[in-house]
Structure 1
Amino acid sequence: MTSQSTAVPTDRGDLDVRPGGTRPARPAGSLRQRAGAGRAAGFAMALPPILLIALFIGFPIVLAFAFSLGFTGGLNRTIALIGQNVHEAQGGPTFGAYADMFTNPRFLGDLAVTVIVTVVSTAVVILLAAGIGLYLKFVGGVIGKVLSALAVIPLFIPVVIASWAILGFYSADGFLRSVAAQLGVDFPVWSFTMVTVVIGSVWTSLPFATLLITSGLQAVPQAMIDSARDAGASFWRVVISVVVPMAGVPIIIATTFTAIGILGSFTVPYFTGPNSPNMLGVDMSNYFSAFNQPQQAVVMAFVVFAIASGIAAVYVWANFRSARESGAV
């Protein structure tokens, strides 16, 4: 009995030999056409959200940037007529609004406070989330589950309610001062200070960072940890040399998301922070509505946008590195 051979079609147009006879393989041109049609269909499916983002986000950003450079015509004409201290372009862009803000001591102080609060709050959030994740990874048990559950609770509490609770908790007649007074201790009043802004920022940002970092740490193979321990590595050597590098991408992503969220926050600093200095999210709202200086408010917005873009670049790098390690690129 003779066996029948079967040839796999190739791009060169080889014959497809099968028990039922022979027929020519599909030519390479048709394969390329199908691939092109698939790419076109995918682009058509992705086009509506892209157009939506371009129309409702991209175009207003371009319009606002032109207004910050003094282009007050067209769609910017109405706000330029209503606003005060508006710098108009004379044949070319003007940086008068930027010069106003970067020579304004109030803006420089608010910018410094915004950066400091963002750095401090992000560091505290990442340390707490990493601590909870490491405890779950190496110890676990009931305490670890309780810690992870407590860290996620702020996710289900509205920011406004949490801000008012924090404000009352650290006020002059709040819980901490009342307990400290019973012990003869004069506890400081933290309401309407940047301390409560940091506490509120940590409270609202901790759940997401905990979920992301904990999942990243749990994905580290236990065999790698056991091998390092067998080689005589201490706990901290295992954490620094094995766990953190292997969970580095989730940690970086959590850090960037936390920093961007705190950088542009409004509710927490508005309710719990002082009138001055305060974060730029509150300050640009005051300049736009209370001071009627929309051009200066737009300048603040683009300063925040520039800082956030720098943070986002780290996020894009982390995603690219993760995709490259997984073989997607």
Structure 2
Amino acid sequence: MSRPVRRGREGQTRGLFMALPPIVLIALFIGFPIVLAFLFSLGYTGGLNRTIALIGQNVHHANGGTPTAGAYSDLFSDQRFLGDLVVTVVVTLVSTTVVILLATTIGLYLKCRGGILGKVLSALAVIPLFIPVVIASWAILGFYSADGFLRSVAAQFGVEFPIWSFTMVTVIIGSVWTSLPFATLLVSSGLQAVPQAMIDAARDAGASFVRVVTSVLVPMAGVPIVIATTFTAIGTLGSFTVPYFTGPNSPNMLGVDMSNYFSAFNQPQQSVVMAFVVFAIASGIAAVYVWANFRSAKESGAV
């Protein structure tokens, strides 16, 4: 075997051993529990799942080695779960759409206009990064409550402002608040990376501002926008703090339902099934993220 080939294989082996510790940690503390939870959802209640199966209520057991879908059947025949699933998807779609529209608008203003107003907008969009989600949730709840700021101001003019506290409206507002900073940073950086020469060329060719945005800026910043969209959607889909503090008791998002089924209702198997439903939806969103990263790497010549 030639010396270059031997050195190449030694380098590969060394690289494998250097990457092995984090891989082993992820496998032990994330991968293994996921496998256990999935087996538990299919009725395998022995081994490490034995204790939780003995404590929990309404636990479905596998018939020997044959898995059971009883827990899945229970949930998907439960109208409450189906309603909460629909609410979770709707809140995720609405919140993600609003976040990306706001982030893109701020990024476009910074790219095309800039100035003091653009800096103020970008600074305001990043402020939620420095405010804990719990404090922000309580502030949003009080702001839109029956005796909150908006109703108090509207009452001075004889207007009765609607009460939005403990509704899905405040959940959407809270989700937008917590997701906007990261999306703004990512989308703005993508738009700033578009070469000014291409914008000037489009303008010289007679393109209007709308045409420049739709044909040059947004397509060239498409990958960062897609990545921001996937991160926002996944974060909203699995959120707990905002819907727990600001949302109604029913319907509510699945993040809160998982906690309720696990602790309040003592139905751990059903809560695990909910987790895998959320995981399945998030995996579909993550596939878009992987595609965007692959496309970005391909465009840069890394692939």
Is TM (by shorter chain) over 0.5?
yes
Render the CA deviation track for 1:152-210: whole Å, top value 9, x for unaligned. 00000000000000000000000000000001100000000000000000000000000
Separation of aligned partners in 2, 1:39 and 1:282: 45
1:168 equivalenced with 2:121 (yes/no): no
Render the CA deviation track for 1:216-274: whole Å, top value 9, x for unaligned. 00000000000001111111111111111110000000000000000000000000000
Separation of aligned partners in 1, 2:158 and 2:18: 67
Query: Aligned runs of 1:14-53 on 2, under 5 Å?
Result: 29-53=2-26
Query: Aligned runs of 1:1-329 on 2, under 5 Å?
Result: 29-91=2-64, 92-329=66-303
Separation of aligned partners in 2, 1:144 and 1:242: 20
Separation of aligned partners in 2, 1:256 and 1:32: 42
- 1:139 counterpart letter in structure 2: R
- 1:313 counterpart letter in structure 2: A
Separation of aligned partners in 2, 1:35 and 1:274: 60
- 1:48 counterpart letter in structure 2: P
- Alpha-carbon deviation of 1:289? 0.2
- 1:270 counterpart letter in structure 2: Y
- Alpha-carbon deviation of 1:38? 1.1
Separation of aligned partners in 2, 1:96 and 1:129: 43
Question: TM-score, with normalisation over the residues of structure 2?
Answer: 0.99
Q: Which structure: greater helix fraction? A: 2
Larger relative contact order (CA 8 Å, sep ≥ 6) = 2
Identity of aligned residues (%): 83
Separation of aligned partners in 2, 1:246 and 1:39: 36
Separation of aligned partners in 1, 2:181 and 2:6: 48
Separation of aligned partners in 2, 1:129 and 1:152: 10
Question: TM-score, with normalisation over the residues of structure 1?
Answer: 0.91
Separation of aligned partners in 2, 1:234 and 1:29: 62
- Alpha-carbon deviation of 1:101? 0.3
User: Between Structure 1 and Structure 2, whose CA radius of gyration is higher?
Assistant: 1
- 1:186 counterpart letter in structure 2: E
SS of equivalent residue, structure 2 residue 255 = helix
Cα RMSD after superposing both structures: 0.6
- Alpha-carbon deviation of 1:40? 1.2
Stretches of structure 2 that go unaligned for 5 or more consecutive residues are none
Separation of aligned partners in 1, 2:301 and 2:8: 21
- 1:230 counterpart letter in structure 2: D
- 1:73 counterpart letter in structure 2: G
- 1:50 counterpart letter in structure 2: I
Moved over 2 A (4+): none
